[in-house]
Amino acid sequence: MARIAGVNLPNNKRIEVALTYIYGIGRTRAAEVIDQTGISPDVRVKDLTENEVNALRREIEQLIVEGDLRRRVQGSIQRLKDINAYRGIRHKRRLPVRGQRTRSNARTWKGPRPAKAGKKR
């Protein structure tokens, strides 16, 4: 089991898919990292050599991933809240931030509908 950026990669997955288990690396960036290291995207994690794992580690260390990225995102949201930007206010009130309608949808954000007296059916 390869451990890269503090994440245990699943052994039976292709390396291209396994790298997406790291926060901040999606399919596109995983493909870029694999191209830069010269590893075949079809190889399974369990079949990687120690040199290939080290090459992946070196390449991913140059990216902002996992804890650093999470802190950066939280810092950006906190900054919006502190300066009372519109988006920050939406974050504070736990409402959709990106312009979605809230009259008929947004149940994930707003939670279950409150019960109304006398309305069963």
Give the tens place of pLDDT for each residue, 52-106: 999 999 999 999 999 999 999 999 999 999 999 999 999 999 999 999 999 888 8
Average pLDDT over residues 19-48: 94
Domain, as residue range, for 80: 67-110
- Let me know whether 48 and 80 are in one domain: no
Count how many domains the chain has.
2
For residue 118, tell me if it sits in a domain: no
For residue 8, tell me if it sits in a domain: yes
Dihedral of CA 94/71/7/13: which sign?
positive
- Averaged pLDDT of the chain: 92
For residue 103, tell me if it sits in a domain: yes
Q: C-alpha distances in angstroms, 112 versus 12, 106, 109?
A: 39, 10, 9
Please indicate, yes or no, whether the overall pTM of this predicted structure exceeds 0.85. no
- Let me know whether 75 and 59 are in one domain: no
For residue 120, tell me if it sits in a domain: no
Residue 100: CATH number of its domain: 4.10.910.10
Residue 121 pLDDT:
65
